[in-house]
Amino acid sequence: MRLSAAERIKGEAGVISAIGALVAILNPFGPGEMALGARLAYWIGGFLAAWVLMQVLAQVGAASAKLFGLARLWGYAFAIPFGAAMIAWALLWWQGGSALAFGENFSRTWPSTILVGMGFFALFYVIYARAPGTEGVVPVPVSIEGGALENASESDPAGVAGTRLHERLPAGFPPLIALSVEDHYVRAHAEQRSELVLITLAEATALMPSDKGMRVHRGWWVAKSAVRGHRREGRDVKLSLASGIAVPVSRNKVASLREAGWLAG
């Protein structure tokens, strides 16, 4: 099962909460005088708050990286140290006010919070690298190397609605962003939903508007409006979709996609 962007966020929140609960139960860092219930609230709430902060800073960092012509993944080089500083200030302020937060203790606490932030980033990077359907995906925001489409932005509506293929899908099925082969079926992908249809990919693509998408691989058809960018891995190219899915591109399709304006940079 491929993960949508919403599912990835919920999954990350679940993992963060589980780690916070484990730390609260084992209590390796203290505070020792707290009861278990208070420790659970302290660590789970603290980790979730720090995770939300990092998501915001990661968006800022991604935009900064793009400004300098770097891959969006480099945004975490900004987000982790700065976010760790804010977390260290908050922890020290909670323990002893401004005197502790802005005193010498900060220089000892900040490296520790940086290491924790790097640890969480590495954990999710490994999870996404191993998870099915998330090739090329990193912790939110999705990393896109190579450039964005000239005619698409993250605010553009993604997918194709009201196609003839929708007649074979459940009523109210959202706009289609991609089609992929799965055994003897085709999986119809929307941003936060997917459905299997007993049909060949050739038959499925024939039911899609020819000017709205393209077959980019022997096992994939993609809606152009769903593409948010692409990344290169050696000679291989993968399209990054609005839902976070990374779609492989056949090498013999790269030139035609570039001519059609799908690949920039």
- In the chain, the percentage of residues whose pLDDT exceeds 70 is 84
Q: What is the pLDDT of residue 156?
A: 53
Rounded distance between C-alpha atoms, residue 107 and residue 126, angstroms: 30
User: What pTM was estimated for this model as a whole?
Assistant: 0.50
By the 8 A CB rule, do 23 and 29 touch? Answer: yes
Number of CB atoms found within 10 A of residue 5's CB: 18
CB 152 within 8 A of CB 228: yes
Task: Render pLDDT for 149-178 as a digit per residue (tens, 0 to 9).
Answer: 434 444 456 889 999 999 999 988 999 999
Q: Where in the chain is the domain with CATH 2.40.50.1020?
A: 164-259
For 220-265, write each residue's pLDDT tens digit: 999 999 998 888 877 788 998 888 888 999 989 888 888 888 886 5
Calculate mean pLDDT across residues 67-71: 74
User: Domain 164-259 in CATH: superfamily?
Assistant: LytTr DNA-binding domain (2.40.50.1020)
Q: What is the C-alpha to C-alpha distance for residues 18 and 20, in angstroms, rounded to an integer?
A: 5
Residue 192's pLDDT band (cuts 50, 70, 90): confident
CA neighbours within 13 Å on the CB side: how many for 1?
A: 9
pLDDT bracket for residue 31 (50, 70, 90): low
